[in-house]
Amino acid sequence: MQQFLKHYKVKIRVLSPIFIGSGEKIGKKEYIYMPWNHRVIIPDVDKMFEDLSRRGWTNEFTSFLMDSRNGQMPLSTWLAQKKLRGEDYDKWKKYEMDAGEAFVNPASRPKEIDAFVKDAYGMPYVPGSSIKGMIRTILLVWEIQKNPDAFREICREIKMSSQNKASRKICLARETSKLEQQILYTLSRDEKKTQNAVNDCLSGLHVGDSAPISTEQLTLSQKIDYTLDGKKKPLPLLRETLIPGTEICFDISIDTTLCDYDMEDILEAAQVFQQVCNTYFYERFHRPVKDENVVFLGGGCGFLSKTVLYALFGQDAVRIVDSVFQNTLGRQYTIHKHQRDIGLRISPHVCKCTMYQGELYDMGIGQISYEE
């Protein structure tokens, strides 16, 4: 074995529902909710269509799918009208999952589902790129916390740029890139162009995709905004998420000739990042994250888990974040009441949560461990 390579078997144990989106949306006419057992079936459309055609319902079913006037009717309602049962659905299913806290309120209308990313065999997994992006963020915050005075110039530039209107994709992109270059571009592969990505020391950090995860580990999670005064506001958004207790297993390899970080550094960085998140956000909601070696992973776990602004500015970050929202969200800034953020001394001013088995969880929290 080459001595300059370090290999680790890494595991993230899911502590609260984690969502890694594929970009696919499962519409109300593409899943079957079974109220008698509170489960959801995702059918194989070809098998379902073939079976319904054998029953002589080809035209009716096609009309149902194509008719926009039936846009509010879910597939399960149409099938129930045809007197079909669970044993019929079983013959069509690709997979099924617990419906979680979705559909608990009978007055709420069915919603489309944001799908979890899956491999070619239909199995959920977590891409290595998602994990590496998380590691990159926590290492940046760790380095900032170790030497905050080194970043005064970039802080000045961020303050100025946050006042400019921009799209969400390009807002502070130049400043973020400059910060990453200052911290991570330590190699001298291209001395003429120091901003070239070949100088990034994390090019020596290789994170593999996770092992496939059983679809039995999926549930449906409804987005809930949790306010500073303890109120829960359910929103019409459902996600396929990994249930607490799921193990996400993957490999990390580090080329020590390029990357100076090891797994102990990553764990220490995770603890520092957790402290920042607790100090400037979760403690304000009386929901500090107390588990050790915590990471924040995936979609829906909130703005703070994706940014270094609070590490750079501390409590002053509230004004910077508010400026970013004001100059990127347009009308959504007022709709989501971000004008209250300055007065509340927190931005954003809601905590992204969900319910699972009757308990309120913050989204996207896992516990990382490793062995060599």
Flag whether pLDDT at 109 surpasses 80: no
**Are 273 and 29 contacting, i.e. CB atoms less than 8 angstroms apart?**
no
The better pLDDT of the pair 169, 125 is held by 125
Flag whether pLDDT at 352 surpasses 60: yes
For the ranges 83-87, 149-153, 254-258, the lowest mean pLDDT is seen at 83-87
Q: What's the token pair of residue 56?
A: 């002589």
Phi/psi at 293 (nearest 5 deg)?
55, 45
What was the pLDDT predicted at 2?
60
Number of other residues whose CB lies within 10 A of the CB of residue 261: 19
Flag whether pLDDT at 134 surpasses 80: yes
Regarding beta strands 232-242 and 359-362, do their DSSP bridges make them parallel or antiparallel, or are they unpaired?
Answer: unpaired
The better pLDDT of the pair 191, 298 is held by 298
- Of the pLDDT bands very low, low, confident and very high (cuts 50, 70, 90), residue 156 is very high
Flag whether pLDDT at 342 surpasses 60: yes
Q: What's the token pair of residue 190?
A: 């291209």
Flag whether pLDDT at 126 surpasses 90: yes
Q: Tell me the C-alpha distance between 80 and 77, whole Å.
A: 5
Percent of the chain with pLDDT over 70: 97
The arithmetic mean of pLDDT across residues 346-366, rounded, is: 95
Number of other residues whose CB lies within 10 A of the CB of residue 176: 16
Average pLDDT across the chain, whole number:
92
Residues 6+ apart with CB under 8 A from 5: 253, 254, 255, 256
What order do you get walking across the sheet with 365-371 strand by strand?
Answer: 205-207, 247-255, 5-14, 365-371, 294-296
What was the pLDDT predicted at 4?
87
Flag whether pLDDT at 70 surpasses 70: no
The arithmetic mean of pLDDT across residues 220-247, rounded, is: 94
What is the per-residue pLDDT across 283-330, written as a single tens digit (0 to 9) for each? 999 999 999 999 999 998 888 888 999 999 999 999 999 999 999 998
The pTM score is: 0.93
Q: In 162-280, which residue ranges form alpha helices assigned H by DSSP?
A: 173-184, 263-280
What was the pLDDT predicted at 116?
98
- Of the pLDDT bands very low, low, confident and very high (cuts 50, 70, 90), residue 166 is confident
In the chain, % helix, strand, coil (3-state, to 5) comes to: 40, 25, 35
- Of the pLDDT bands very low, low, confident and very high (cuts 50, 70, 90), residue 110 is low
Flag whether pLDDT at 66 surpasses 90: no
Question: How far out from the chain centre does Cα 325 lie?
Answer: 19
Q: In the chain, which residue ranges form alpha helices assigned H by DSSP?
A: 45-54, 58-66, 75-81, 86-90, 128-146, 152-161, 173-184, 263-280, 309-313, 317-328, 332-335, 341-344
Question: How far out from the chain centre does Cα 317 lie?
Answer: 22
What was the pLDDT predicted at 208?
98
The arithmetic mean of pLDDT across residues 328-343, rounded, is: 91
**Are 222 and 100 contacting, i.e. CB atoms less than 8 angstroms apart?**
yes
Q: Tell me the C-alpha distance between 310 and 345, whole Å.
A: 13
Question: How far out from the chain centre does Cα 129 lie?
Answer: 13
The arithmetic mean of pLDDT across residues 106-111, rounded, is: 65
For the ranges 76-85, 177-186, 189-198, 332-341, the lowest mean pLDDT is seen at 189-198
The better pLDDT of the pair 287, 111 is held by 287
Q: Tell me the C-alpha distance between 269 and 264, whole Å.
A: 9
For the ranges 103-112, 150-159, 238-247, 326-335, the lowest mean pLDDT is seen at 103-112
